[in-house]
Structure 1
């Protein structure tokens, strides 16, 4: 049996207590290192060292080349807490093989915060706004939910308090935990609406126990949000058809959607809200609608939605291949053929049509590729003089097919 290569890159998590809290394995890796990478705060802890020290570039991606240049020589990366939980370790796994890496974690701020508050960690939503928009938090706002949030800096607690208050969760309990595990540890509590904390350390974690006020409108994570959850100009897949479309797209963790002719972005937003690590691209040629998509994505907690300007199929050229495609607007043979060609094996295609011309395209595609073809008619009760009656909406033809179903 071949001997397994020893890792050359050691990622060391450091608590607020500094290097004195490191285990022997981490100390030995630091002593043997030829090069040490880290933030300025961590590198300052080293004092006099024989190793070459390199501070992270901004943007961080520029540091990857320097790390790769150290391959094969003992190298250490210094990080905060658990490097694999929203930390640099998770980023490095995208550039280095597991055989190259050794990770030595310290207790994470999530663990320490949960311990201080006596909150079962498994019952908490653990989030980060470090390097990410605070609007990410919107996705998880619901009564009685407990959130633990890594901060960007000293301004993060107040930014989150404002967000909570603006979403109707002003009565929520908000706890700021600073320098957890160190000599300067401090824990202070307030409410989102009554936020009055000052002199907050940059190194802090935020805990939120969500309480919905009268103005709150909690949004479920299942597909089929109320139509009033989205600002739109009328170009939107409505609730019933949207729930059907998202179910047929079969979102799975880590997969990517192309939402072609996105309109208000309702399909791609519901896709992102459905699971962890999802990706979506909303393709929309109209600038005003792209602004609506961005507004909806932030309000519903998925600001990571990629919004692409341009007409299909030309807009597909630079995009990573999708696991699923929804065509809700501008269906033509050229759009479908390009999207179908890009779709990964086993990927799902869903298309809607309301005009006779686009219906004819779906009927022909169903005959050629199979799948399931349906005409959906929805009738809603509305006022008819002093009485009520069912008023039919324009019928929609729905077609979905899996890439592997193609002959």
Structure 2
């Protein structure tokens, strides 16, 4: 069987959501679909919820599932297939994977209420306004970008240890006062609720089938870390090769991330641009290219601490592409370092898709001259930023300038926009250089 959507030639696969209330909670259509199946797929727990009177041959999902799934379906492709899923199959469930693999027309999906629907019903929270983060098969740190003082969110747990690990994560990132409510076996006869404060969490592990509700409470002295660009500089570790937050915010605005897009951060330094790009939306992706190994380690560490551990960290961009490592073409490229190295801009421009954006920052006369030449050839917009930060001077305050930054931003199309040049002077509080490299 090909993995291309629409290639499935067998009988449509029925995907039945089943809750913690098991067989008794299924409607007539769902029961008939399970009873009519010749092969029934599911986890050990899900298959055990189906009474022995159902005659279908039962197949337990292998681990890992995804690599084995195409062959498993092909092997049983001549039979009537039914797949069991937890709750709503299209809510972080196997239904999403099957739709991607087989195409929507190959499926008949019969959902039950999702765990998020049941949790919000118990808590009295508005489902449409409650963010949901799954840590099933994902790093726990992916919760971090969603945290904000006073915000409420749900976490779909990986197992019975997730509540304890989540409490520790919150305590270590300035949210130790947050209230946690663990909802176990939602909708079933064994449903149970436990609650407590993150920094005081002492509950032993409970049922592995649980959802954690968080009411966030931020420590007042913790720097704010929202999804908006321009995180405080002190949140990034490293050797000082950091695009400072004023210029970083302006750079992210020029890059204009949209959900699901891929960024190349060339000359990654501390990884600040790639990290903020990925924090802008949970579906965003980034590859950070950095020639120095110690900085590559620092990018990975910063990405984990700031909740986007899925960022890929690679070596020097030309070497990585020459090695044919299967790096996807980007929607946007930021060049923050290595501008004057032979072939860097040429390589980036060649790899950028039509309609993609390229933004480059320069702090030296040589790199600025290079951007002027590229702007003359390709169009786009030239800007120059001069940021001043207030600093003490004895008993007075003086304005301390950062290094001026020249920025070129361009969309890769036929030159439909005239070249423009802008000069901006900014004022802020603090000091330091403005570029990753």
TM bin (shorter chain): over 0.9
How many Å separate the matches in 1 of 2:81 and 2:366?
Answer: 62
Q: Is the Cα–Cα contact under 8 Å of residues 322 and 342 in structure 1 kept in the other structure?
A: yes
Alignment of 1:7-406 (within 5 A): 8-46=12-50, 47=52, 49-69=54-74, 70-71=76-77, 73-308=79-314, 310-316=315-321, 317=324, 318-331=326-339, 332-406=341-415
1:326 Cα shift? 0.5
Which runs of 5 or more structure 2 residues have no equivalent in the other structure?
1-8, 417-437
Q: Is the Cα–Cα contact under 8 Å of residues 371 and 405 in structure 1 kept in the other structure?
A: no
Q: Which moved more, 1:68-77 or 1:140-149?
A: 68-77
Question: For residues 220-273 of structure 1, what are the alpha-carbon distances to aligned partners after superposition, in whole Å with 9 as ceiling and x for unaligned?
Answer: 211111211211211111112111111111111111111111111110111111
> Structure 1 residues 324, 71: closer, same or farther in 2, change over 3 A?
farther
Which runs of 5 or more structure 1 residues have no equivalent in the other structure?
none
SS at match of 1:142: coil
Q: Is the Cα–Cα contact under 8 Å of residues 381 and 389 in structure 1 kept in the other structure?
A: yes
How many Å separate the matches in 1 of 2:348 and 2:375?
Answer: 16
1:92 Cα shift? 2.3
1:334 Cα shift? 1.4
1:67 Cα shift? 4.3
- TM-score normalised per structure 2: 0.87
Q: Is the Cα–Cα contact under 8 Å of residues 167 and 215 in structure 1 kept in the other structure?
A: no
Q: Which moved more, 1:318-327 or 1:92-101?
A: 92-101
How many Å separate the matches in 2 of 1:53 and 1:321?
Answer: 42
Question: For residues 154-185 of structure 1, what are the alpha-carbon distances to aligned partners after superposition, in whole Å with 9 as ceiling and x for unaligned?
Answer: 10000011111112222211111110100111
Q: Is the Cα–Cα contact under 8 Å of residues 389 and 400 in structure 2 kept in the other structure?
A: yes
How many Å separate the matches in 2 of 1:145 and 1:281?
Answer: 30
Q: Is the Cα–Cα contact under 8 Å of residues 249 and 324 in structure 1 kept in the other structure?
A: yes
> Structure 1 residues 213, 390: closer, same or farther in 2, change over 3 A?
closer
1:57 Cα shift? 2.3
Question: For residues 321-358 of structure 1, what are the alpha-carbon distances to aligned partners after superposition, in whole Å with 9 as ceiling and x for unaligned?
Answer: 11111111112451222222221221110111122332
How many Å separate the matches in 2 of 1:68 and 1:399?
Answer: 51
How many Å separate the matches in 2 of 1:93 and 1:351?
Answer: 39
SS at match of 1:362: helix
How many Å separate the matches in 1 of 2:238 and 2:360?
Answer: 20
Question: For residues 28-67 of structure 1, what are the alpha-carbon distances to aligned partners after superposition, in whole Å with 9 as ceiling and x for unaligned?
Answer: 2222323222212112333365433322222222222224
How many Å separate the matches in 1 of 2:272 and 2:354?
Answer: 25
1:71 Cα shift? 4.2
> Structure 1 residues 302, 284: closer, same or farther in 2, change over 3 A?
same
1:207 Cα shift? 0.7
> Structure 1 residues 386, 217: closer, same or farther in 2, change over 3 A?
closer
> Structure 1 residues 92, 340: closer, same or farther in 2, change over 3 A?
farther
1:212 Cα shift? 2.1
Q: In structure 1, what is the equivalent of residue 426 of structure 2?
A: none
Query: What count of residue pairs does the alignment treat as equivalent?
Result: 402
Q: Which moved more, 1:154-163 or 1:199-208?
A: 199-208
1:387 Cα shift? 3.4
